[in-house]
Amino acid sequence: MAGSSDALVILRNAAGDEASVCLHGAQVMSWRPAGEGEQLYASPLSPPAPGKAARGGVPVCFPQFSERGPLPKHGFARTSRWEMVAPAIATAPVAEGHFQLDSSMVPGKWEHGFCLLLVVRLGPRWLELELQAANTGRSAYDFTCALHTYLAVADVRAVQLDGLQGLHCEDMVDAGTVRMARSEALRIDDEIDRVYRGVSRPLQLTAEGEPPRRITQRGFEDVVVWNPGPAKAARLGDMPPEDWPRMLCIEAATIEHPVQLAPGKTWSGVQRIELPHAQGFGDSSAGLRRIP
């Protein structure tokens, strides 16, 4: 089943999992697997609004990550209104929604011709997002991008993240210092803002009393791990200061090596989050709508 209101699309699959996607930013705002609690954090002080980015869910960062370029922070995709280009459908057991943003919908935002497609797939105990970018102009261009996923946790100080050991990471809290990650699982008790480079293996987020989450990606080369910590959270203004332990961003990203896209070419990147005993791990590209 699927339904929509003025700006919100609801996806439900045959197993009873549910996700909501806001047309503002094509931002996934909620994901509730059947029998489980909310898996995404969304700040109650930052609802979607024209020209503003909501803090939470899964913002789409394009064509610039953070402030690494001339555009506003994280680009314009997350603050623009997208359109649903195919009816939100449910199959057994996967529900899908297709959302599009192109250069005709954001005049003057960027000088290049582009078309973005976000495919949201909701399976039994898993959520998969695929971002596709097509160059519809006459000249090549570069871009960086990310799926800025805010995962909900009971207490970030009690979680551990496996899979990043031994990778090089850029530590933005330490003035962009590049170092090799330690050999043990990552634990967090304060502000963290790191870009882990060349991530190709699955990540596992675990905490006592919570189902583990397995996070995989393809197409995206990097992973960003972010939490504001108590001091920065108190200065944000769009998030309750006491909420900083309740979230952890684990972002599928391409940052270190920007995507170089020639005219007529398409790039895609996927992030998938799974809870234990998920089914349907087959070829998730079946039935994918490609950008012309």
Q: Give the closest residue to 269 by CA, choosing from 221, 229, 214.
A: 221
Q: Distances from the Cα of 25 to the Cαs of 7, 47, 60, 155, in angstroms?
A: 10, 12, 7, 28
Q: Distances from the Cα of 101 to the Cαs of 4, 216, 219, in angstroms?
A: 18, 25, 20
Q: Are 20 and 30 in contact (CB under 8 A)?
A: yes
Our answer to whether residue 251 is catalytic in this structure is yes
DSSP-derived 3-state class of residue 197: coil
Strands (E), 33-125: 60-61, 83-90, 95-102, 114-123
User: What is the rounded CA–CA span in Å between residue 163 and residue 169?
Assistant: 13
Catalytic option among 128, 130, 221, 251? 251
Catalytic option among 24, 74, 98, 148? 148
Q: Residue 5: what residue type?
A: S
Q: Give the closest residue to 54 by CA, choosing from 25, 31, 97.
A: 25
Our answer to whether residue 148 is catalytic in this structure is yes
In the numeric block, the tokens 């970018």 are attached to: 133
- Provide the token pair at 235: 């200065």
Residues with a catalytic annotation lie at 148, 251
